[in-house]
């Protein structure tokens, strides 16, 4: 493969520490450790895709073995050692993809190979990419060698999933977290490469590439490569063409759409959306960008245009600031929830485009542009009788929430006679369990009886001690149900204090006491004398 036929991500792959962008501190740290002969036994590079993990690994391998030394590291003309490392055929530098070799036998083979010193290099180096894919047994097999390797052996690991690596392995490595590359640095970098390639790309198109790549250098170079190939007729790749190539659309058109949506201009809203859709934008991308604009509207006062964020230009920022001045934060929360619901919905409908149009239609109605008539047409009820249930699906329960009206449907409780009913009050933990049974909330009842250690109970406040067997959504589900049943927010807190034993454990203890008491009774003793083979299976207590 000739140099010119390579994709940009490979053609411009950094060969020395100075070529790496956005990771200067880490590069300097590793370089100094090699110069002072204090390089770690094992390096662990972690970060998102395309920020330089494998590239770092190869540069470190070169720095440790280069014939010219780390301060004169080969960049264009390679020594024998660096040339073999760059081509991935060095006899002492083994690159392994843990995604394809995950088993303990592969690692044992690696360890066996490490018993012999390097053949032609100073260090024998094992580079393991996607190391988190190794099995638990494979990691365990590595532990001893990682902690006390021979002087000639170095490990270099790369991963995107640091949480999947055992702590025992991480603690034996020198860990480096590679951050996303800042927008301004990435912009200058791809602009420099564009100039070297002789490509004609506008700054706005380059900024779009930076935004889409989300801090990944490889993604940015791949997008630039794609743009240059698609634009080989000596025309400049401008923003409009770039948006068409990458399936993206101008943020300003979405901001204009939201502005008209808030003012209730239905015709203009659908004109703008259909123009966006006709340009080839996927409905899911549209909805995700819609969420992004909602986020900016909510936090516009905290956003600074410092050159590191290409998501908004000056004009977009100004337009969003004007819109946010007269926008209630409750509107944004409601819009946000509706958008999330629609993202789920488009996965099951055959025509997502129609679903998005209905989504925009609903947003204009819930804002209250046609007030009572529209709400009644959606729900069949007067707005004053709508249920306000923020934790449920807003599309079915919260049509006119923005109007700030008390909208709570009364719940007719079905409690024990000893319960005090005033908009459903729950006076004790036992009453709560009974209520779960009556409302057929079997899962909640099971958690309350089996995995809940009560510390204290009062109306509106439940304090329990931590139980590792509890369902992860138990507290959230219980809180939602209590709000639904009592029209009040309950606080459910985890306490450091040791709680009571669970109801299930208490019942077991009570049953054992009854069982033991029955066995000590005269009736049982006489029964055993008369029938020696008899066995007590169950005890039923009569009310008297």
Q: What is the mean pLDDT of residues 196-212?
A: 87
pLDDT score at 312: 64
Which tens digit of pLDDT belongs to each residue from 356-403?
999 998 888 775 444 444 444 444 444 444 434 433 444 443 334 433
- Quickly state the pLDDT bin for 445 (edges 50, 70, 90): confident
**Cα 238 → chain centroid:** 33
Query: Considering the entire predicted model, what is its pTM?
Result: 0.59
- Quickly state the pLDDT bin for 483 (edges 50, 70, 90): confident
Sequence-distant (6+) residues with CB within 8 A of 303 are 296, 309, 312, 317
Q: Is the pLDDT of residue 18 over 60?
A: yes
Q: What whole-number percentage of the chain has pLDDT above 70?
A: 85
Q: What is the mean pLDDT of residues 317-325?
A: 83
* Secondary structure string (H, E, C) spanning 243-281: HHHHCCCCHHHHHHHHHHHHHCCHHHHHHHHHHHHHCCC
- Residue pair 173/155 in contact (Cβ under 8 Å)? The answer is yes
Buried b vs exposed e over 76-86: b needs ≥16 C-beta within 10 Å?
A: eebbebbebbb
Q: What whole-number percentage of the chain has pLDDT above 90?
A: 19
Q: Is the pLDDT of residue 168 over 50?
A: yes
Q: Is the pLDDT of residue 232 over 80?
A: no
pLDDT score at 403: 38
Q: What is the mean pLDDT of residues 220-247?
A: 84
Q: What is the mean pLDDT of residues 339-344?
A: 90
- Residue pair 128/155 in contact (Cβ under 8 Å)? The answer is yes
pLDDT score at 538: 72
pLDDT score at 309: 52
pLDDT score at 396: 41
Give the lowest-confidence range in 185-189, 193-197, 235-239. Answer: 235-239
pLDDT score at 5: 66
How crowded is the C-beta side of 101, counted as CA atoms within 13 Å?
12
- Quickly state the pLDDT bin for 465 (edges 50, 70, 90): confident
β-pairing, 93-97 with 124-129? parallel
- Residue pair 94/113 in contact (Cβ under 8 Å)? The answer is yes
pLDDT score at 304: 59
Sequence-distant (6+) residues with CB within 8 A of 206 are 187, 190, 191, 194, 224
- Quickly state the pLDDT bin for 3 (edges 50, 70, 90): low
pLDDT score at 311: 60
- Domains of the chain as residue ranges with CATH: 3-177 (3.40.50.300), 183-246 (1.10.8.60), 251-367 (1.20.272.10), 429-495 (3.30.300)
Structure tokens at 354: 């129609």
Q: What is the mean pLDDT of residues 198-220?
A: 87
Return d(Cα 482, Cα 464) in angstroms, integer: 16
Distance (Å) of CA 390 to CA 157, 393, 399, 408: 46, 8, 11, 11
Q: Is 45 helix (H, G, I), strand (E, B) or coil?
A: strand
Q: What is the mean pLDDT of residues 95-124?
A: 87
Other CB atoms within 10 Å distance of the CB of residue 320: 22
DSSP for 183-243? HHHHHHHHHHHHHHHT--B-HHHHHHHHHHHTT-HHHHHHHHHHHHHHT-SS--B-HHHHH
Average pLDDT, the chain: 80
- Residue pair 285/266 in contact (Cβ under 8 Å)? The answer is no
Query: By C-alpha distance, which of 232, 228, 259, 227 is closest to 243?
Result: 227
Q: What is the mean pLDDT of residues 121-129?
A: 92
Q: Is the pLDDT of residue 25 over 70?
A: yes
Structure tokens at 439: 């409302």
Positive or negative: CA dihedral 459, 464, 468, 469? negative
Residue with the larger pLDDT of the pair 16 and 398: 16
- Residue pair 286/280 in contact (Cβ under 8 Å)? The answer is no
Q: What is the mean pLDDT of residues 106-128?
A: 89
Structure tokens at 11: 């053609």
Give the lowest-confidence range in 26-40, 446-460, 508-522. Answer: 508-522
Return d(Cα 446, Cα 444) in angstroms, integer: 5
Sequence-distant (6+) residues with CB within 8 A of 175 are 44, 46
Q: Is the pLDDT of residue 534 over 70?
A: yes
pLDDT score at 418: 41
Q: Is 306 helix (H, G, I), strand (E, B) or coil?
A: coil
Residues 190, 193, 195: CA angle, nearest 5 degrees = 110
pLDDT score at 373: 45
Give the lowest-confidence range in 160-169, 242-251, 328-337, 424-433. Answer: 242-251
- Cβ-count burial of 40 within 10 angstroms (0-12 exposed, 13-18 middle, 19+ buried)? middle
């Amino acid at each position: 493969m000739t140099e010119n036929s390579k994709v940009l991500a490979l053609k411009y792959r950094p060969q020395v520490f100075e070529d790496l962008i956005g990771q200067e501190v880490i590069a300097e740290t590793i370089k100094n450790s090699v110069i002072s002969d204090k390089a770690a036994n094992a390096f662990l590079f972690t970060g998102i895709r395309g920020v330089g993990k494998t590239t770092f690994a190869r540069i470190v391998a070169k720095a440790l073995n280069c014939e010219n030394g780390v301060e004169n590291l080969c960049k264009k003309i390679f020594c024998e050692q660096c040339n073999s490392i760059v081509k991935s055929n060095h006899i002492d530098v083994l690159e392994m993809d843990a995604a394809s070799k995950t088993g303990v036998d592969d690692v044992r083979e690696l360890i066996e190979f490490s018993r012999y010193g390097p053949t032609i290099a100073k260090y024998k180096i094992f580079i393991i990419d996607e190391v988190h894919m190794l099995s638990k047994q494979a990691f365990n097999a590595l532990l001893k060698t990682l902690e006390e390797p021979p002087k000639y052996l170095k490990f270099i690991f790369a991963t995107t999933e640091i949480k999947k690596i055992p702590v025992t392995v991480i603690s034996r490595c020198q860990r480096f977290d590679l951050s996303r590359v800042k927008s301004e640095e990435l912009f200058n970098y791809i602009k420099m490469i564009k100039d070297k390639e002789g490509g004609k790309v506008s700054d706005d198109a380059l900024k779009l590439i930076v935004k889409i790549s989300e801090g990944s250098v490889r993604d940015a170079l791949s997008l630039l490569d794609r743009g240059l190939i698609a634009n080989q007729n000596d025309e400049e790749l401008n923003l409009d063409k770039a948006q068409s190539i990458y399936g993206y659309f101008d943020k300003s058109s979405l901001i204009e759409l939201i502005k008209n949506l808030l003012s209730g201009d239905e015709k203009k809203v659908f004109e703008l959306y259909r123009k966006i859709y006709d340009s080839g934008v996927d409905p899911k991308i549209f909805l995700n960008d819609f969420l992004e604009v909602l986020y900016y509207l909510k936090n516009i006062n905290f956003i600074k245009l410092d050159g590191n964020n290409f998501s908004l230009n000056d004009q977009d920022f100004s337009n969003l600031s004007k819109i946010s001045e007269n926008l209630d934060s409750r509107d944004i929360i409601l819009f946000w929830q509706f958008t999330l619901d629609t993202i789920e919905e488009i996965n099951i409908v055959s025509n997502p485009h129609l679903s998005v149009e209905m989504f925009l239609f609903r947003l204009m109605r819930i804002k209250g542009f046609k007030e009572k008539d529209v709400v009644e047409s959606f729900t069949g009820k007067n707005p004053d009788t709508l249920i306000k249930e923020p934790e449920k699906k807003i599309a079915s329960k919260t049509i006119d929430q923005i109007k700030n009206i008390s909208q709570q449907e009364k719940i007719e409780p079905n409690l024990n006679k000893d319960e005090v009913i005033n908009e459903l009050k729950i006076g004790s933990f036992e009453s709560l369990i009974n209520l779960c049974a009556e409302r057929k909330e079997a899962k909640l009842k099971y958690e309350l009886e089996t995995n809940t250690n009560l510390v204290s109970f009062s109306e509106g406040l439940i304090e329990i001690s931590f139980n590792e067997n509890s369902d992860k959504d138990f507290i959230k589900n219980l809180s939602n149900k209590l709000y639904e049943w009592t029209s009040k927010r309950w606080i459910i807190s985890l306490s450091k204090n040791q709680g009571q034993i669970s109801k299930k454990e208490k019942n077991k203890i009570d049953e054992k006491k009854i069982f033991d008491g029955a066995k000590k009774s005269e009736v049982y003793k006489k029964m055993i004398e008369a029938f020696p083979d008899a066995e007590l299976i169950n005890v039923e207590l009569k009310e008297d």
